[in-house]
Amino acid sequence: MHRLLRLPRLTSCPLPALRRTSLSISDPFSRPTPSYSYPYRHVHGFSKWATRSPIRNILLVRKPQDSRVSQALYRVVLELRKINPDIRLFYEASVIPQDAPPNAELFEPTNLPLSTPSSSSQPPIDLVITLGGDGTILHASSLFNNGPVPPVLSFSLGTLGFLLPFHIDSMEQALKDVFCGKMSILPRMRLSCRVRPKGFNDLTEEESSITPSRWQVMNEVSLHRGSSPHLVTADTYVDDQHLTEAIADGLIVATPTGSTAYSLSSGGPIVHPAVQAMLLTPVSPMSLSFRPLVLPSWSKMRIEINERSRSSAYISMDGREAGILHPGDCVLVEASPWPIPCINVHRVSPSQDTTGDQSRGESLGHDTWVRDINMLLGFNVSFKANTGR
């Protein structure tokens, strides 16, 4: 005969209240600096903004030396002048003067910390418009390395990409919806990365002045052996706990946005960009038991080149070379407080309130992520289907 055990009564524990955020088209550069809350409490990870102040300053980021982009840029400028003749347009320094928009001013990104007063009289940017491919958006992200990023509206010109929700043919309607506040924002997570040389247990302000600045990475930070014939030996720590010693061609720490880039080609998982997480993906590891990991966004990672490593490691941030890590050097990676607010084709109805709550009101359109992984990646398409048999 079995005796029934009486379990103690469980008391309910109230969950902490989550902050509801509403990203304003002008909020990302309001004073004081805006606060982006993690996690975002929005249906499908999207948030609605309310245009509490007019859009006055727009940064145009384009793919250089492309005739199609030049023609599209001219159309965008005409439409913006039609909506508001007093809008100030800016272009960034990598664009040659011949490719610059007409009557536009040069944008000067600052590498100064937010607490450092700037002598520039440049007004805060309210909106970023990109014309090109996914690489153009990554470049736009790099222009805001030390602070919040304005909402980014991206147009493609026939190029396929995961970060291009709008085609240039829908430009007029998209701009009208943006200025009327009818679009939604998908905050795409970025990584904050910092290189720490050997011998520095913690970087003070004086020591930081001689080390590389903090990077804000949208896709991934990657360590690789480069041209060395030897594998890299690196120790990975998560929240100061030793996770593993990796012997591999390299390691990748990626965002959900970057899960469909370098990490995917190295066997990493596909993660929806609304998920707040960090991906650790090995590149050709010696051990077959080293599988990709998905970690919570609040994790703090440290990847240190082992003293016994026969090879140094080249470090890249979003595909840009950032330096070389020698034995004893390490890179610190954590979630950035400044995500990329990407304007998405997922529209919201005007009947919704301005608190960012999407539990009421009708959702218009749909998330294009499912469509993208099917069209761009051919997700789960069998070889038999491709042969036409």
Q: Which tokens is 313 given?
A: 């490691």
Look up 240 and say whether it is catalytic.
no
Q: Please, which residues have CB within 8 angstroms of residue 203's CB and are 6 or more apart in sequence?
A: 194, 196, 211
Cα 35 from chain centre:
16
- What does DSSP say about strands 183-188 and 47-48: parallel, antiparallel, or unpaired? antiparallel
To which H or E segment does residue 341 belong?
strand 340-348
Residue written as tokens 């040659």?
96
DSSP conformation letters of 106-153: EE----S-TTS-----PPPP-EEEEESSHHHHHHHHHT-SSS----EE
Contacts 24+ apart (CB under 8 A), 346-349: 346/44, 346/46, 346/184, 346/186, 347/177, 347/182, 347/183, 347/184, 348/46, 348/48, 348/182, 348/183, 348/184, 349/182
Measured CA to CA, the distance from residue 42 to residue 50 in angstroms comes to: 15
Residue written as tokens 């309130």?
353
* 51, burial (CB in 10 Å: exposed 0-12, middle 13-18, buried 19+): middle
In the set 134, 249, 318, 367, the catalytic residue is 134
Could you give the 3-state DSSP secondary structure of residue 202?
Answer: coil
Rounded CA Rg of the chain: 23
Q: How far is CA 63 from CA 72, 95, 136, 156, 309, in A?
A: 11, 8, 6, 10, 40
Measured CA to CA, the distance from residue 264 to residue 278 in angstroms comes to: 13
DSSP 355: T
Active site residues: 134
